[in-house]
Amino acid sequence: MHVLRTLAAGLLAAVTMASPALAVTCTVNSSDGLNIRSEATTNSSIVAVMSNGSTMELLDTSNPYWFQISYNGYTGYVSTEYIKVNRESYRVVDGPLNIRSGPGASYELLGTLAQDEVVEVIGESNGWYQIAQGYIHGDYVEKVTAQAASTSSSSSGSDIADYALQFKGYSYTYGGSSPSAGFDCSGLVYYVCSQLGYTVNRTATSQMSNGTSVSKDQLQPGDLVFFNSVSSTGASHVGIYIGDNQFVHASTPTVGVVVSKLSEPFFTKYYVGAQRL
């Protein structure tokens, strides 16, 4: 428990200059540029237009389809399908570390992070870092390099694969992203990853910008595998690699969530790549 240290950190913050906020940014990933909308809908007015590669600050990521952002003095909403989030990885240096529902020690305790566990930070508020599961205090984590963060990817990837496998046999529902509602392909990926502390986009095409690209002969459990049978770009389907040339995915309304082999003719023909979170 870190109650006394957290209280002490709060008192210290009251009498010293606050540390600068941790700016979480994202980059436009669309050759056609990206519209900033006044509301989280394509029916709202266009506030500004950003070119491909433009960087903006994330303000609110609670809507998986639309993020609130700030860009060159403009504030508005952008579709998550056309952006790539630039995240920072942190390691727990004093664990177990409490996860709170909000940025403060008085908020509900949601769980804990283990010593040396690595998480991605997606926001900051008064010394509390926002992660996918909630908030953790910044005093008990340290920033790690991309290389150090990737060192733990193999074991955490196995966690992703194992967690996803428990949903084998669940129903397929277009637009679904929960066990109760059912899953579509990207909804299964989105739910599994969010439950394990990873932040990913919501659609198959936009999930191709999450993580780091890996070749097919280097696949590890937990890697996201992508297929495209309908267009020349992006992805029309996604699953989670589980090892032994197999992956779990929300396939069709007829069969639901199943395990398939990458060597099956359809998946061999339409395979377009893989990403490691």
Q: Where do the structural domains in the chain lie, given as residue ranges? A: 3-20+87-149, 25-86, 152-276
pLDDT at 113: 84
pLDDT score at 152 = 54
What number is the average pLDDT over the span 125-137? 81
Q: One of 2, 137, 193, 237 is an active-site residue; which one?
A: 237
Collapsed DSSP state (helix, strand, coil) of residue 86:
strand
Catalytic residue of the set 2, 137, 185, 193:
185
- Both tokens of 92, joined, read 């727990």
Is 192 in contact with 252 (CB distance < 8 Å)? no
What share of the chain has pLDDT > 90, as a percent?
51
Query: What's the whole-number average pLDDT of the chain?
Result: 84
Active site residue 137: no
More confident residue, 133 or 49: 49
List the structure tokens of 56: 């903006």
Q: Do residues 79 and 66 touch, judged by C-beta distance below 8 A?
A: yes
The structure's pTM equals 0.53
What local confidence, expressed as pLDDT, does residue 62 receive? 66
Residue 17: both structure tokens together = 């200059």
- Whether the ω angle into residue 96 lies within 30 degrees of 0, i.e. cis, is yes
**pLDDT greater at residue 49 or residue 114:** 49
Topology agreement, domain 3-20+87-149 and domain 25-86: yes
Burial of 198 (0-12, 13-18, 19+ CB in 10 A): buried
Fold of 152-276: endopeptidase fold (from Nostoc punctiforme) (3.90.1720)
Rounded to whole angstroms, the Cα distance separating 242 from 220 reads 7
Instruction: Say whether 249 is catalytic.
Output: yes
Query: Which of the four pLDDT bands, split at 50, 70 and 90, describes residue 136?
Result: very high
Query: Between the CA of residue 122 and those of 136, 149, 220, what are the distances in Å?
Result: 11, 15, 25
Residue 2 bears catalytic tag:
no
Class for domain 3-20+87-149, per CATH?
A: mainly beta
> 205 in helix, strand or coil?
helix
Q: Are 241 and 222 in contact (CB under 8 A)?
A: yes
Q: Which residue has the higher pLDDT, 104 or 110?
A: 104
CATH code given to domain 25-86: 2.30.30.40
